[in-house]
Chains A and B, each alone.
Chain A
């Protein structure tokens, strides 16, 4: 089964977005839907569950259908060997060492060939997500179709050989879409920028009342009367949890606070387990730090933690887009974050949050925010407005439709 059944029941997504985020982009979405009337859109990726792309597609497909743009979502079939190869590709595109043997390349293309036979791909507009199905454009393109490659990966440090294998397949599309301007490689086709987005109606972001927040956080025994500094992220060196602890220690010399480091389980990630051990060692004996290991579906707990935080922190050393920032800003949290990757698009220094580049800078800004409730409120409100305008699903849907409308115009 390659066609994903997206839930169409329940309350209207459009009405839901209108209720929580106002009219932002909904007028343009309706206008684009009218302009694309009569055209069908097909989304293609490699998994229906797990991961940010599948999460976004479940919502976008439903939203586009509600708007009157018939949209289907097809998942390409693959085997364990294929997923091993695509994992290598993914890591190499992120700049980690990796090599594709001749056999790997042949198998990658063979699975794409099989997918080209198995998938319907019967739309006028085909949106291919990430590298796994990238070769389909060279295999199944019909006259009159417009194909777009949506890359959710930071390619700024991509391994050259792996990229050279993918690049001709990418170039067979009509356009490519990237999350951030620094992620864009040289390409012979138009490249557009469309940042990723969050879903304000999702369990991780929806409004919670005080009772729900209390109930969600009760198992963790966090202090009730102490300001919370919260970093939500994997236990990964690039998220610099040890640096956060060091900044917190400096802050504690000046202000009363409690640090929460919350991240996913590190069971299947040996490096994650190492980092977690380092963090635990660093905070040993401290009663003012909580390290929380959360299961992957702890969306409501993360929501509650972010809403209860006095200051949200993201002191990463390197980042892709870091949508945890948008999640915190959406909840009107004052935010201290590193000026890396896509973070400066979300945190505009002194307007929607505070950017830092060092442990001392992080400590300085955390202390400043702990001392100044008005500043926290001002940044939190501006951050919420910024996310409502730029980083919610309706804006991302609008961008995809606008790109297709542009390509459809160009084809006339």
Chain B
């Protein structure tokens, strides 16, 4: 990666395929998860963040949602939620954590926790197809604009999906660090462990970024001569007036 040459952004398409037989109870869930591919675990525990990206809160993973709502074992559902809460684990670690929750029950207990006939869960695999967008960013400003302003799949791919499949490695954050923008890199790494929905995470990053720019501008300005600060103040007021006028007369 050549940081001087910029960083090319990718979007992603997820191709969805059915995987295995529909789950009827916690025993069949345990068997399936023990042999499920990374694409299956990704679809049900991570990709939900993209599917349900406009939710007001952090969306629940499919597995614990099914156990809570359909099988109606809320205790196991809570434990499954906890097992997949952190996204900095490998697929193998996620599988182990999920299976160990189900192993707390005996095979008979798992088989007894049944879904109604029409409530079976068909597992799906999400095959990722990353695609170059042709957009190359050269600094933090351009990166934040591209990640927060356009296609949400670009955010999902770089911030959530790449680190998940790459054992925590986050190429876009590494590029920022190499460019000398460690603070923004840290925020992106934090966003990879979301506590909100994807759209709210994007909004949060944008707010933080704007705030940091404002703070930097104020700090820079404090060292400037008096007349320069006055001129900058007058220009800022003029910009504000223009913005207010535009808002009142949108035509």
User: A: which residues have CB within 8 A of B?
Assistant: 23, 27-28, 31-32, 34-35, 181-182, 184, 190-193, 385, 398-399, 402-403, 405-406
Contacts and interface: CB of A to CB of B under 8 A. Distances in A.
Q: Is the interface of A mostly helix, strand, loop or mixed?
A: helix
B13 A32 contact: yes
B13 A28 contact: yes
B225 interface: no
Contacts of A398: 13
Interface of B: 11, 13, 15-18, 54, 122, 124, 127, 129, 131-134, 150-151, 153-154
Contacts of A181: 18, 122, 124
Given A31-B131, A191-B17, A402-B13, A385 B54 contact: yes
Contact of B16 (A31, A192, A385, A405): A192
B13 A192 contact: no
B186 to A, nearest CB: 28
A197 B97 CA distance: 38
Contacts of B18: 181, 184, 191, 193
Contacts of A385: 54
A192 B151 contact: no
Given A35-B131, A405-B129, A406-B127, A28 B17 contact: no
Given A23-B151, A405-B129, A406-B129, A182 B134 contact: no
Contacts of A402: 13, 15, 129
A32 B15 contact: no
Considering residues B16, B127, B129, B151, which has the most beta carbons from chain A within 10 angstroms of its beta carbon? B129
Q: Is the interface of B mostly helix, strand, loop or mixed?
A: strand
A31 B134 contact: yes
A355 to B, nearest CB: 12
A23 B153 CA distance: 12
B132 A31 contact: yes
A28 B153 contact: yes
Considering residues A28, A35, A406, which has the most beta carbons from chain B within 10 angstroms of its beta carbon? A28
8 closest Cβ pairs, A-B complex: A31-B131, A402-B13, A193-B16, A27-B151, A181-B122, A181-B18, A184-B18, A402-B129
A23 B134 CA distance: 16
5 contacts: A27-B151, A27-B154, A28-B13, A31-B132, A32-B131
A109 B87 CA distance: 52
A182 B122 contact: yes
A28 B151 contact: yes
Contacts of B129: 402, 405-406
Given A28-B131, A35-B131, A23 B17 contact: no
Contact of A193 (B11, B17, B132): B17
A32 to B, nearest CB: 6
A27 B16 contact: no
A406 B15 contact: yes
